[in-house]
Amino acid sequence: MSFEAAYSGIGRLDRLSYRDTVVHRLDPRAKVVATMLFAVGVVSFPRYEVLSLLPFFLFPVLIGALGDIPAGFIARKVVAVSPFAVFVGIFNPLFDPGVVAIAPGVSVSAGWVSFASILVKFALTISAALLLIATTSFPGICRGLRRLGFPALFVSQLLFLYRYLFVLMEEAMRVARARDMRSFGKNGAGVRVFVRIVGTLFLRTVERAERIYGAMLARGFRGDVPSMRTETFRPSDAFFVLAAGCFFAVCRFVPVPQVIGRLVRGVVG
Amino acid sequence: MSHHLLEFKDVRFRYPDGTEALKGVSFLITHGESVGIVGANGAGKSTLLLHMNGHLLPTSGAVTVGEVPLRKETRKEIRGKVGVVFQNPDDQLFMPTVFDDVAFGPLNLGLPPDRVRERVYEALRQVNALALVDKPPHHLSGGQKSAVAIATVMAMKPDILVMDEPAASLDPKSRRSVIHLLNSFAHSKIVASHDLDLILDVCVRCLVIRDGAIVADGPAPEILSDAMLLAENNLELPLTLQGRPGKEGTRQ
């Protein structure tokens, strides 16, 4: 994926958050808490669990559908960052040669099962995080975190990260373009040029940070970024958190696929 | 309300690396005056502006705003009186939406929420940017960013407005609306720019700065038509005062 494509992808995520749906209207705090519970629920499963994780997919699917977020877009983003998860788990099949039966008569090595488990957990948490941003907007999440009691310094760092990510990316894009224009297809003579470009960008960023801080002081900054949004935590938000929490608890502690399987067998037999 | 004075008395400033950027600058700007500051690149314009709201403190000499002498302890008070619009709007607009950004100053001044909201809408109306209120700054055009950057400072209702290159890299129409905007601001204003036509349209008085010292101070039309003086400072006659090329006598 090229740099410019990555950039426009983030812009799109940003624009999706302007929509107005049931999910978008929920209080950011409710969505942040629900997503955290979701992540905790998913990650707490033991390493050889795959099937029991599957019901959790209902949460991102529902949020995506109700929030009118294109599934393909989120799926592509998940695939784009999946190399991280693949590298984490790729050696499991080699190092973990134990055998696990996954169906009557079919057994595979335990390493493959734990690898699959990592991939599923990864897909679940990343898609939930992306959907949280796409339905809440990054500043919305920051406001939610602040009002949940996260430290002001941490939240303002996140806010600036979001605001200046675009500026930094544009700057990097301009520098890369200038390099490409004078490198005649040789990709800018490789690593040495790249390292220098990164150095230049870093220096520019430091200078810019100084100017921004000056502009903030000029307008009376005293350490906390003030916000005027007064979201109220409505009963519907509480209901959302409660329902999501119950759903996660059921998925976590009740082996849903097995229960469904037993039910089906009961009906058939 | 006649205390919107800004006085520099023999202000000297030396950067930590030893560069002497200001070498004894003195002037007095009175209530309601509009003053242009011009000079070559590196003459000391930006350093001068950074002294006006205490971002830099003079190494020696005194800066007085209203009746308040600029010191470390008075910087906060002075920043409420002097609003500085920086050159690059991306540095000025650091909040996630236009509304939050314009509200940043008034909220820090401790105004109640409904007053803040009033100030935000008033400031955005003044710069014709009311429609942008919910946009994130990175989705704005250059001209829109400049307009909003001015609104962020206007919302604090400063007594003195200081601007560094307010119209740099704007298209002619956006530049013109910035000029109208500046002319509608009744309080004292100080504009540093290489756009001498803008200075001519906005400012009554003009200071020329060279090597950290003021080399000329007088009525803007007089200074900006002095071709010799301008040439000595890497400047040219404003385009409106140059004859059109092709017609008689392009330049004196």
B5 within 8 A of B65, measured Cβ to Cβ: yes
| Helix or strand holding residue A197 (H, E) | helix A191-218
Nearest to B104 among A166, A219, A230 (CB): A219
> Using the beta-carbon criterion (under 8 Å), do A219 and B153 form an inter-chain contact?
yes
- Mean pLDDT in residue range A50-79: 89
pTM: 0.73
| Helix or strand holding residue A239 (H, E) | helix A235-253
Angle between helices A28-43 and A138-147 (to 10 degrees): 90
Domain extent at residue A226:
151-231
pLDDT for res B1: 47
Report which of residues A184 and B144 the model is more confident about. B144
> Using the beta-carbon criterion (under 8 Å), do B105 and A220 form an inter-chain contact?
yes
Q: Which residue of B has its CA nearest to A163?
A: B96
Number of domains comprising chain A: 2
* CA distance linking residue A41 with residue A45, whole number of Å: 7
Are residue A170 and residue A248 in the same domain, yes or no?
no
pLDDT for res A206: 87
Q: What angle do CA B88, B68, B117 make, to 5 degrees?
A: 50
A92 within 8 A of A111, measured Cβ to Cβ: yes
Q: Is the predicted ipTM greater than 0.85, yes or no?
A: no
pLDDT for res B60: 92
| Among A171, A208, A219, the residue to mutate for chain B (most B Cβ within 10 A) | A219
Tell me: pLDDT of B97 over 90.
no
Beta-carbon contacts of B194 under 8 Å, excluding residues fewer than 6 positions away, are B38, B165, B168, B235
| Among B100, B114, B134, B152, the residue to mutate for chain A (most A Cβ within 10 A) | B100
pLDDT for res B249: 47
Q: How far is A92 from chain B (nearest CA, A)?
A: 42
> Using the beta-carbon criterion (under 8 Å), do A228 and B105 form an inter-chain contact?
no
* CA distance linking residue B228 with residue A261, whole number of Å: 93
Percent of the residues in chain B that have a pLDDT greater than 90, as a whole number: 37
Residue tagged 């971002």 (tokens): B55
B128 within 8 A of B147, measured Cβ to Cβ: yes
Are residue A138 and residue A156 in the same domain, yes or no?
no
Report which of residues A60 and B2 the model is more confident about. A60
pLDDT for res A138: 86
Confidence category of residue B34, pLDDT binned at 50, 70, 90: very high
Are residue A51 and residue A145 in the same domain, yes or no?
yes
| Helix or strand holding residue B84 (H, E) | strand B82-85
Structure token pair of residue B111: 């105004």
DSSP character for B5?
-
> Using the beta-carbon criterion (under 8 Å), do B116 and A228 form an inter-chain contact?
yes
Residue type (1 letter), A59: F
> Using the beta-carbon criterion (under 8 Å), do B94 and A212 form an inter-chain contact?
yes
**Which of the four CATH numbers 3.30.460.10, 3.40.50.360, 3.40.50.300, 1.10.3720.10 does domain B6-241 have?**
3.40.50.300
pLDDT for res A146: 87
pLDDT digits (tens, 9 = 90+) for A100-135: 776 677 777 888 888 889 999 999 999 999 999 999
pLDDT digits (tens, 9 = 90+) for B201-247: 999 999 999 999 999 999 999 999 988 889 988 888 888 888 766 55
Structure token pair of residue A128: 């939930």
Tell me: pLDDT of A52 over 80.
yes
Contacting residues of A for B136, CB less than 8 Å apart:
14, 139, 163
User: How crowded is residue A139: how many other Cβ atoms within 10 Å of its Cβ?
Assistant: 22
- Please state which of the ranges A24-28, A53-57, A253-257 shows the lowest mean pLDDT: A253-257
B214 within 8 A of B207, measured Cβ to Cβ: yes
Torsional class of A214: left (φ above 0), alpha (ψ -120 to 50), beta (otherwise): alpha
Are residue A46 and residue A77 in the same domain, yes or no?
yes
Q: Which residues pair with B192 in a beta bridge?
A: B37, B164
Are residue A126 and residue A9 in the same domain, yes or no?
yes
Nearest to A218 among B55, B109, B113 (CB): B55
Those residues of chain A whose CB sits closer than 8 Å to some CB in chain B are 14, 137-139, 142, 159-160, 162-164, 166-167, 208, 211-212, 214-222, 225-228, 230
* CA distance linking residue B105 with residue B87, whole number of Å: 18
pLDDT digits (tens, 9 = 90+) for B156-168: 888 899 999 888 7
Residue type (1 letter), B186: A
